[in-house]
Each structure stands twice: as structure tokens, then as C-alpha cells.
Amino acid sequence: MNAAKKAGLWLAYLLLVIPLQGVPTFAAIILNSSLSISGEYTDNLFFTEQDKKSDVATIVTPTFNIDFTSRNVVLNIEYSGSAVFYSQNPEADGYFQSLSFNIDFPGLNHQFRGLEVRIIERVSYSPELGAYSFGSQTLTFEERFNQVLLEGEGIQGKRTDTFRNFAGIVLSYSWSQNFVTTTSYTNILTRYAGPVPEDTDINVVAMDGTYRYQASSRTEWMARYGISSTIGEQENDLFHQMSVSVLHQVTRLVAVNGQIGVSLVEGESPAMLLGAGITKAYREGRLSLQYTSNVVVGLGVIEGLVRRHSVVGEATRSLGARTTSYIQVGYVSNQSFQVNRIDITSYTTQTGVTTQFLSWLHGNLSYTYLKQQAQGTFGQDGERNVVNISLTASAPPFRILN
């Protein structure tokens, strides 16, 4: 038996067998499902600078979510499909889908106190990778911000059927109440239907340590050091990051954060890491705004390291017991260390209204504006307006196992 097989067997034993020893078992499986029907108008379907084509689409989207919970394993599986039918450009019709799952192993924490293991997998087939993906209104602001960077990295390309597989494993260990180390491996495989853009296969290995200090009941400081190695088909990079950040609860409803640090890229000058944000909750809604300037790893749209400046914001306001309005803004500037290869700036605004007609039926009306400017050899200029109206029917949760 070779070393790789032995390592795989030991990992399976660690994740699946050890957590079962001496731990009482119970399990619950809950299925949530919904069906959405949307009408959408866009004035630039293929996102071109000239010869724009507008169209109206009918979109049918089934969604299924399964939550499996036990003392040893917590598993979430989500499937979403979209059948898209265009009135003027039937060649763009198709059925696009995504499947994702997240696995946590709380049983390991019983056997090895302080150890947490998480496995992430997301497979998607889409007509294009959008520059921004603010996500569901049920997600937190931080989750939506991370999703923005995951999907399109602030870069909008031409419409091209795209397959993407995002897989990763994260291991974290709490050495004390204040000090945590994290090790992760991520693989992002992206395949396009056409020759442009080029297919990518990115591997990222990262390790970091974070120390938290509770200075007062309202103020928390964090010091972090991390090292990342990126292995791609065309480019390999190694960089270090050191930062200090603070989170301060100004009042019960207002919180601010700040971050300063440095990124050290092999063969390049040091780059500053800066961040600042504010969140405010009030009776009628919530306001969030976050600025970040950093060196980040390209996740498939970009290969290699880039300097990224981003601003992501959101404001919500209740218009009644069942109606909420929202506005979301995003600005991202990507610049590569290689001169004139990547220099792309994009910004977007999305505003809309959601209404809960019945306990199982809600509607959404939204308008989205996107503009992109590209000065390097990668990317393109473009502008797009989209209006969407949708109705979503949700089935009550169904307990498969309790």
C-alpha cells in the first residue's frame, strides 16, 4: 500500500470513525424547497461595448436545501437550477445549475477539544460569472461580502457558458480562548465554453494564526499573521500578510472596524493592507459599509495575485409589516503586479423591494446597473441595465428524519 492510500485511510478514520466512539448519536434531516418564476429585461445581454443586444427572459428556478444534523456531522446540501428562455436570442437559452455542500464535524471537537474541520464543495454551470453576487437577503453582510469576492472578483466578462468547481478543506485549532491557527487547502477549477477567457486551475494552500484581545466589553483587538502559496497553470506565488485590526461597539446599534497591515510578495515591493467599516442597525432597517485595500489571490477569473481595492455597502428599510426596500453598492478595482495585464475597475448598484404576500409566497422587484472599465490587456469595457421581477413559492419544511 503506497503512502497516499495510507494517508487517505488515516484521514477517513480521523473524520468518520473516531467521532463515533463514545458519543451518543441522534440525527435530523430537514428538506426546504422553493420555486421561483421571474421575468427579466437586460439591455446588454452579451455584455459588449458595441452592438448591444437587449432581450426579455423568462426564468424558472427550483431550489432544494437539505440540512442533516447529528452529534458527529452537520451537513448542508443546496441545489439550484435555472431554466432560461429568451424571446429574441434563443441561442442563449439553457438550463443552468449549481450544487453545493458544507460539512462540519462537531464530533471531532468532542474527541479533540479545540479542533474544527470543515469541508466545502460547490459545483456550478452558469451562462457567465457575474462580477458581483450579493446573495440572498437572509445572509449576513459579511457572508454576502465574501460571496462577492468568491464569484466574479469584481470582473464582468462576456457571456460564455462556464463550469466551475470550488473545493476546499479548512482545519482550525484553538490553542487557547484567544489564539487560533487555521490551515486550508482550496482548489478552484474553471472551464469556459469558448477559447476566451482561458481555462484556469488554481490551488491555494494557506496557514495563519490569529490572536484576539478583549480590551473592554466594547472593544476587541486582533493580530494576524498568514502565509499563502498559490499554484496555477501559468503562475506560482508566495506571499505573507501581517495585520492588526480592531472592532469597537460604539453604541448598542453602531459598530466600527479598522485594519492596517502589510503584504509581502516575493520579488515585489511591500503593499499596504487597509480596511475600515461601519454597521448601524435601527428600527426600520440596517446600514453597512466596508472598504478594503489588500493583496488577494485570484480565484479563476484572474490567475495570480492582484492588488484589490473594494467598497461594498448595503442599506435596508422596512416599508411596512411585510415590505422591505434595499440598496446595495459595490466597487472593485483589480490591478495585477504584471504591468498592463490586469487593470479593471467596475461598480454596481442594485435597488429593489421585497414583499411577503403570504406565509409561503413572496415577490421581489429589482433594478441593477453595472459599469466596467478595463485599461490592461485583460478584460473589456461594458455597461448593463437589468430589471427583474419575480415570485417565489416556498414549501413548508419537511422532516425526513427526526
Instruction: Measure Cα distances from 37 to 44, 60, 70, 145, 322 in Å.
Output: 21, 5, 34, 26, 20
pLDDT-above-90 percentage for the chain: 56
Of 17-21, 116-120, 338-342, minimum mean pLDDT range = 17-21
Residue 166 belongs to a domain: yes
Grade residue 135 by pLDDT with cuts at 50, 70 and 90.
low
8 A C-beta contact, residue 285 and residue 306: no
Higher-pLDDT residue of 231, 134: 231
**Residue 389 belongs to domain with CATH number:** 2.40.160
Of 2-16, 78-92, 350-364, minimum mean pLDDT range = 2-16
Of 76-90, 195-209, 247-261, minimum mean pLDDT range = 195-209
Average pLDDT, rounded, for the chain: 85
Residue-level pLDDT at 5 = 45
Classify 285 as helix, strand or coil: strand
If you average pLDDT over residues 114-124, what whole number do you get?
90
Residue 9 belongs to a domain: no
Residue 71 belongs to a domain: no
CA 402 – CA 64 distance, rounded (Å): 19
pLDDT-above-70 percentage for the chain: 86
Output Rg (C-alpha) for the chain, integer angstroms: 22
Residue 43 belongs to a domain: no
Higher-pLDDT residue of 5, 246: 246
Residue-level pLDDT at 1 = 47
Above 80 in pLDDT, residue 397?
Answer: yes
**CA-CA-CA-CA torsion sign (374, 379, 385, 386):** negative
- Total number of domains constituting the chain: 1
pTM reported for the whole predicted model: 0.85
Residue-level pLDDT at 8 = 45
Residue 86 belongs to a domain: no
Above 80 in pLDDT, residue 148?
Answer: no
Check residue 230 and give left, alpha or beta (phi > 0: left; psi -120 to 50: alpha): beta
Residue 53 belongs to a domain: no
Residue-level pLDDT at 141 = 36
8 A C-beta contact, residue 78 and residue 62: no
Question: What's the number of CA atoms in the CB half-sphere (13 Å) around residue 304?
Answer: 15
CA 341 – CA 333 distance, rounded (Å): 13
CA 308 – CA 333 distance, rounded (Å): 6
Residue 319 belongs to a domain: yes
If you average pLDDT over residues 378-385, what whole number do you get?
89
If you average pLDDT over residues 254-279, what whole number do you get?
91
Residue 179 belongs to a domain: yes
Domain with 125, as residue range(s), is 113-401
8 A C-beta contact, residue 387 and residue 41: yes
